[in-house]
A and B are shown apart, each in its own frame.
Chain A
Amino acid sequence: MVMREQGGHPWMGNSLPALKQQMLDEIGVGSIEQLFEQIPQDHRLREALDLPLGIRSESALRRHLTDMLSKNESADTHLTFLGAGCWPHHVPAVVDEIVGRTEFLTPVWGSAQSDFGRNQAWFEYASQLGELLNMDVVGLPVYSWGCAIGHALRMAARLTGRREIVIAEVFDPERLSVVENYCEPTDMPNHIKIRRVKVDAKSGLIDLDDLKVKVTSKTAAVYFETPSYLGLFETNAAEIARIARQHGAETIVGVDPLTLGIVRPPADFGADIVVGPTQPLGVHMNCGGGVGGFMASRDEERYVREYNGFLISITETQKPGQFGFGLASAHQTSYGMRENGKDWTGNSVYLWAIANAVYMSLLGPQGFREIGELIITQSHYAARRLAEIPGVAIRYPDGFFKEFVVDFAGTGKAVAAINKKLRKHKIFGGKDLTPEGMKQCALYCVTEVHSTEDIDCLAEAIAQAVKP
């Protein structure tokens, strides 16, 4: 679309010839072009930019974008049972209001005083998550859960001086790929070797006998998740942590914070560092752009001095009785020490930390208990309903939270074919695990947004889809 020049661009205050001239006069040069004198002529564009003219009309811009984006289907138009690292959860309206406020949406950094309110909200993110986790140190979030695992593993490698870590052989491929990059390729001198511990075929949990073989005096950390990638609570968490500790390794645990109203946090089972996703705490899926990762630990100096990201501490001000907030132990970051800092830090997902804070305040202890109970009962209801369908089985029918593996092998149908049929009912079926070696299996996700009627609707649609 080509629009006529209509005077000043609405987003540029000085987009007027008179103002430009006033500034040129003040500088004492004849043209703007003269101000670009530092750039050698042979560096300048060889030809004009191959871009259209700007759409200055807001109504035209809105129309252009909404026409394009209206082609999308979403959890608003469809029932979605996709999870696997990004989950459909309820986002309270107050959360949307607060994170949409210009005050929180647009600032860059400010000072401890001028952006005090935002800093307090950050502290409240850490404080509330600390209560759920039963841990005294919670850093500001990093880019994602996978990135949090990566930073935590590298932290453990620095703490122990060892360069091997142990993780389960069943692992979310998205997170695994991130972790592999953080552990560096074998050609790099500081490569961290990833050892994979077997998973018990029947229970889906970490095989303790194999763990005892894999964890040695070379192990920097054991990392496991509860619930695991396939949704299972790791009931041997305390024993895994004991084995790790026995060999001087750190225990790092990934946890879904929405479980913590009903189950004990990993710290109670001996976790040293706890990580997990922040998206479930009041952030929209945003096509995957809602993800974030938290990191938490005990309040021991050896841990605090190893965080790569920002830690925000409550502190006093010059006025007696008043509190403010500042960055604790900040010099260790890459901002302070460049290549000698702890990994790196930069822009992350701090706006989502505020969403998380508002969400946790809205839920409180009762809300976390209720949502945990609702998710676990609804997901088990769904598993039972699907298991009633001839040929459909639940791989691990007990001990899961919101995700579970549906095995369609008995139907003779491929997951992709079933999901295609579900689309006709405006349903997104679970994630196909076939490419990950679990033939004809899918990872289904059921949360508090799924009503009993939704689940019944899914069961009926699947029953139809798998009919011979």
Chain B
Amino acid sequence: MTDKTNHLRDYHAPVWDEPVVMQLGYPGRRGQVFPQAGAASTLIPKGLARTHAPALPEMSEPEVQRHYLHLCQETLGMLNISLFGTCTMKYNARVSEAIAQRPFVADVHPLQPDDSMQGILQAIHEFDLGLRALSGMDQFIFQAGGGADAAYTNCVVTRAYHKSRGELKRRNEIITSIQAHPCNAATAAAAGFKVVTLNLEENGYPSVEALKAAISDRTAALFINNPDDMGIYNPDIKEWVGLVHEAGGLCFYDHANFNGVMGKIKARELGFDACMFMLHKTFGAPKGGGGPAVGAYGCTEALAPFLPKPVVVKDDKGYRLDYGRKKSAGKIREFFGNVPQVLKAYAWLLAMGRDGIDEASDISVLANNYMDHKLRKIRGLSRSNPGITKHRMEMTRWSLGQLKTDTGCGTVEVANRMADYGIDPWWMSHEPWIVAEPFTPEAGEMYSKEDLDYWMAVVAKISEEAYANPELVKSAPHKQAIAQIKGDALNDPAKWAITWRAYLRKHGKGGQAGDKTHAAE
């Protein structure tokens, strides 16, 4: 056998050349049959009856199954190695999936009486207790459908808190940093606040002086992550929190980057009033390509009365959904959260325990520093903030500025090429790009050292390719289900086609993508 350690696989993605589903089927064919209904036409109010059947595909059940299985196979996702930074790629345990798919979770209605869903409510409550242990907060809720929605939750809680003190009109500013996730600024603006954005300084974070200059009696809250996406931890954070509190503002800890500090610090001990954990990142629930997700939002006792309702509470009769919260900010999404995801996160917490969590943050930071050490040997790469010599946390922002100058190949081109080696294209950076041609690897605790070595060997190989044959990289990918897409139509109202019907209208039935017909016809 050959040594497989540094052998780059001869990968090729499955190519099914699968038509758009709208092109499939045969008139009269069908994939689901429902029991015979009685006469319905007299029950439909006059003038409302549909006159033209919707032009949906007409397919047999196996045809539908086969079509979507082909699309599955044309999705690389996490089938190999994904070090997608800021998103903390984890193993999504199948045991949790198997449990969450059972009817005692999947087929429960959210308005059932509390005593008919004690199992669910107990799991939510016990998980809440676990998050309290990790953060020092007093109450968590799970209504937010993602991390951004948890930031929005913080906005509505902030509004309700200041309103209760008669200060909301004046306190209309939220302070954040240019390195905080865009959703912090965006949800603040959508909730009606003015956004004050602090820029980074030499040491990689905004200075205390800059914060002081931004704070006033108009300050409603600080929204901040720490460490940031560069892997830099702001050591002044306690002072920051103190300054904002002195001015009467609240402090919200966006714990998107929790993996490197879990079991090491607690938001509450740093002085924060509220924090957010992403259960689909740090806590092992799957991402689903963009949800269903959960932003678990926790806060102090002082803020708890303002939380969106209901809140799961335990009393001597058992567990219940508490709707009777008079100061509540209302709701930010119907019902009480993506419960299956909460359960999966609870399963993760149980399986990891305090020993596993501590070890996982150790491994995440160790693995990132291991990569830091090896990636710097690859030509054309450089670390952001080169003047900062301290070890980074669980991820590091890198730059391909040099590679781009030397070869014309930047971070987009390299990302596209990575897939040709079976690697999920990396995360670059949120807007704005502070370093040139950025990328952000995050090793996490799931992947083995061999996986990390393979990933870095791919980056090294692409760097070599860029210097030797830049066209190969620029025209990548070459071994995917499709070639590089053309972007010009995507911002052109005359050309974009967001549904098949729009495509047919704009590009005609004989158009390039419309000329495939089903084999049976």
- Residues of A91-145 whose CB lies within 8 A of B: 92, 94, 96-98, 100-118, 120-121, 123-124, 126-132, 134-140, 143-145
Top 6 A-B residue pairs of the complex, sorted by shortest distance between their CB atoms? A107-B77, A288-B335, A54-B353, A346-B148, A288-B110, A117-B74
Interface size on A (CB < 8 Å)? 213
Stretch at the interface among A60-68, A211-219, A243-251, A458-466: A60-68
A380 to chain B, nearest CB (A): 5
A166 at the interface (CB under 8 A from B): no
Instruction: Select one of B50, B373, B419 contacting A263, CB under 8 A.
Output: B50
B99 lies within 8 A of A185 (CB): no
- Residues of B40-77 whose CB lies within 8 A of A: 40, 43-51, 53-59, 61, 64-65, 67-77
Bound-state CA distance A263–B52 (Å) is 10
A377 lies within 8 A of B486 (CB): no
B329 at the interface (CB under 8 A from A): yes
Known: A82-B112, A263-B50. A322 touches B287 (CB 8 A): no
A289 lies within 8 A of B152 (CB): no
A321 at the interface (CB under 8 A from B): yes
A127 to chain B, nearest CB (A): 4
A-B contact pairs, 10 of them (CB 8 A): A29-B391, A43-B237, A86-B109, A120-B18, A146-B331, A235-B47, A262-B44, A315-B495, A361-B21, A399-B45
B54 lies within 8 A of A261 (CB): yes
A458 to chain B, nearest CB (A): 15
Instruction: Select one of B112, B235, B448, B484 contacting A428, CB under 8 A.
Output: B112
Instruction: Select one of B33, B232, B287, B370 contacting A23, CB under 8 A.
Output: B370
Instruction: Select one of B34, B109, B515 contacting A285, CB under 8 A.
Output: B109
Residues of B within 8 A of A43 (CB): 235, 237-238, 265, 269-270
Instruction: Select one of A318, A339, A364 contacting B195, CB under 8 A.
Output: A339
Known: A70-B104, A314-B20. A11 touches B91 (CB 8 A): yes
Bound-state CA distance A132–B487 (Å) is 28
B79 at the interface (CB under 8 A from A): yes
Residues of A within 8 A of B486 (CB): 315-318
B513 lies within 8 A of A314 (CB): yes
A434 at the interface (CB under 8 A from B): no
Stretch at the interface among B118-126, B207-215, B245-253, B297-305: B118-126
B518 at the interface (CB under 8 A from A): no
Instruction: Select one of A265, A339, A346 contacting B185, CB under 8 A.
Output: A339
Considering the complex, give the chain A residue whose CB is closest to the CB of B28: A366
Considering the complex, give the chain A residue whose CB is closest to the CB of B233: A38
Interface string of A189-233 (1 = CB under 8 A from B): 111000000000000000000000000000000000000000001
- Residues of A388-424 whose CB lies within 8 A of B: 398-399, 419, 423
B257 at the interface (CB under 8 A from A): no
A360 lies within 8 A of B56 (CB): yes
A211 to chain B, nearest CB (A): 18
Residues of B within 8 A of A45 (CB): 263-266, 269
Instruction: Select one of B108, B333, B513 contacting A147, CB under 8 A.
Output: B333
Considering the complex, give the chain B residue whose CB is closest to the CB of A37: B390
B436 at the interface (CB under 8 A from A): no
Bound-state CA distance A357–B20 (Å) is 12
Considering the complex, give the chain B residue whose CB is closest to the CB of A28: B373
A326 lies within 8 A of B485 (CB): yes
B475 at the interface (CB under 8 A from A): yes
A276 to chain B, nearest CB (A): 13
Instruction: Select one of B49, B182, B356 contacting A9, CB under 8 A.
Output: B356
Considering the complex, give the chain A residue whose CB is closest to the CB of B31: A362
